[in-house]
Structures are given as C-alpha cells and as structure tokens.
Structure 1
Amino acid sequence: MATQMKAPPSTKKEIVDVPFNYRSLVEKHSPGGRYIDAQSDVDSPWVPFGDTAAIKHLSFDVRRNLFSNILWVKGPGVVGTHLHRGTITMVVLEGSVRYLEYDWTATPGGLILEVPGESHTLVTEHPDGVKLFGWMEGPIEFYDENAQFIETVDVWWMMNHYEEYCREHGIAINQKLYL
C-alpha cells in the first residue's frame, strides 16, 4: 500500500527558518520569487499580436528559452499554423479554443499540453474569443497557408515584442519579468 502524504503539520501563520546549506548562494545569485499582476496593466501591458490578438508578457527566461504570457484572441479567429520545437503548457482562462488538427475543444480551466515536433492551427469560434495562460519553452515556427516558413518566435522575439511596444508607448520596461 502506498504511503499517503499528510497535510503539512504547521498551523502557525509565521515564517519558519528552514535550514538550507546553500542559502547564501541562493541569496547571491537567484533573482528571487516575484508577483506579476496579470489582471491589470500595472506590470505588463497588452501588446498587439496581429490585428485581432494581443499578448500580456509575464516572464522571460533566456537561460532556458522559456517565456510565459497570456494570449488573447479578441473574438472568433485563428492564430496561424505553427510548429513547436519545445514543450508548451497552457490553461484556458476565458472563452474556448481548439486546434484544427484535433477533435477536442478546450474550455475555461482546461489544460493544453503540446510537445515538440507537432504543428497546430489554433482556432476560436467563441464570440468573446479566448484567453490562454501559457508557459512556452523553445522556438515556435510560424508557417503560411502554403507551408512556407514565416518567422521563428522564441524568448528573444517575445522580449523584443514587449520592449519595442514599451519604448514606442513610453512605458517603463518591467525588470520583474526577466528571470
């Protein structure tokens, strides 16, 4: 019989000084934990992504080519065919979405997992579109309707997308987004 994990034993609402041999190294080299307000534009604005979508950038990790954001397709629409070179994990926040290549539709609270080497065409038919929170690792290659390569989107592309928009609109670049 498997051992069942029990709830944490502490009920005190206080900081516990947990022993850790490398705490000084963590304090010296780690960017530390942080909170990013995704509900408002305080920490990150909505940046246009084509004519009918926008991205709220939440984090950039250049060491792992990892980035996090919320993709908002503002009404029924398509995000073009793309090939993943890394793992993608997304949660539907609002609306619904599907891929032409699959027979399912993802709805709020649903988890979408994508693996390297697969190509997808993201579609939303929901009247309000869809908002997707995602952690994306590695490059994403976009292709046109003739399977001709258009562009590679990776952590560097996403950083540039965010920073150019901020510069053009007089918005301070938020260093909390960089891990």
Structure 2
Amino acid sequence: MSTPIEDAVKPYDGPRLYGMVDDMITPGALDLDCDERLWVPQGEHSPGVEFRPLMFQPGEGKFVNLLRGRRQGVVSRHRHVGAVQAFTLRGRWHYLEYDWWSEEGSFAFDPPPGDVHTLEVPSDCQEMITLFITTGAYIYVDADFGMLGIEDVFSKIDKTREHYRDVGLDVALVDDLIR
C-alpha cells in the first residue's frame, strides 16, 4: 500500500476528459530579443508596430501576443469587442483617453465591450513591448469614429502565416500556436 506522500508524486492516471487538447508550451516566450523573423508587422492601421504571436484560440476568439512598438506617437486607435489584459515588459505606453501610464512591470485590464482607446508610446521611449491577452476583436477607428478595419484571431493567424512564409519560416510553426 502506498503512502499519501508517494501518491502525491504520481501523475494522474485516470481517463482524460472528452475533447481535451494537449497543453502548449512556448520556450523563450519572453525572449524579447528573439529571432527578428518571429515579429509580424501589425499592418496598415499600426505602421512601425509588430507582434509576436504566442497562442491562438479560434474557438474562443482569443489571441495572445507580444506587441512591439519601436516608434513614438500613436500606435493605434481601436475599439474593443472583448476584454484585454496587458503586461508591460519593456518601455511604457498609455491611452490618450486616460491619465494612467502602463510602465515596465505594470498590468492593465481593459474591460469589455466598446471602449475606444488611442494607444500612444511617448517620445522618450525607444521601444515598448507588451504582452496582450485579447478576447474578441479590435475595430480600428479614426478620430471621428469612422471604421478603418477589424482584427481578430482569424486575421492574426492569416497575417502570421503570410509573414512566416515571406521570411522563410516554417508555416507549420503557426499551427503549433493554435489551441
């Protein structure tokens, strides 16, 4: 007969629940100076900004990525459809609509839905990198609230596949990020 301590160090050996997917691990996820090819240009609504995808969950409309801005000024103006969590890893940023700043080591939570944010990187910041956990979509808008475009988990997957293909990375790496 085994002791409680011996049982505690054994892996679970029971049945796996139906529909469960394998866990995912991304070694070096917070290597902020990784291979430059992993950084995907954000696109026309955020020139000079890139993202490094860490996970896509199409079934939940969720994506996790590092966002990097190496230019100062407005990074984007967008409206949220779902909640967003942000951990600032390097530099600082804020929303023009609020008085607070998210600086290195800060956590920010944007509750859903519908708030409009104009994300700005200040002129004294050479590089901003923030880990964003996003549910739903960003609707890019102009200063008069005119819609410029939509970005969601599906457009992020497509953009990442295209970029990886263009820079010579294996597109199968994208599939490894989908859960």
Structure 1 length as normaliser, TM-score? 0.82
Per-residue displacement from partner, 1:105-127 (whole Å, max 9, x unpaired)? 11111001001121100001033
The match for 1:93 is: 89
Q: Does 1:45 align with 2:45?
A: no
Aligned partners of 1:109 and 1:22: how far apart in 2?
Answer: 40
Partner residue in 2 for 1:30: 21
- For 1:6, the equivalent position in structure 2 comes to none
CA apart distance, 1:130: 1.0
**Aligned sequence identity (%):** 25
Whole-angstrom distance in 2 between the partners of 1:22 and 1:99: 47
* Corresponding residue of 1:4: none
Q: CA deviation at 1:169?
A: 2.0
Range 70-79 or range 103-112, more displaced: 70-79
Q: How far does the alpha carbon of each residue in 1:135-158 deviate from its partner, in whole angstroms, 9 at most, with x for none?
A: 000011001223210111110011
Flag the 1:33–1:16 CA change in 2: closer, same or farther, 3 A. Answer: farther
Matched, 1:124 2:121: yes
Query: Which runs of structure 2 are paired with 1:22-171 in the superposition (5 Å)?
Result: 22-23=15-16, 25=17, 29-38=20-29, 39=31, 40-41=34-35, 45-49=38-42, 50-116=46-112, 117-125=114-122, 126-171=124-169
Of 162-171 and 64-73, deviating more is 162-171
Give the alignment's TM-score, normalised by structure 2: 0.82
Q: Is the Cα contact below 8 Å between 1:47 and 1:54 reproduced in 2? A: yes
Q: What is the Cα deviation at residue 51 of structure 1?
A: 3.0
Contact 2:62–2:136 (CA under 8 A) maintained in structure 1: yes
Secondary structure at the residue paired with 1:177?
A: coil
Runs ≥4 residues deviating over 3 A: 18-22
> How far apart are residue 20 of structure 1 and its match?
6.2
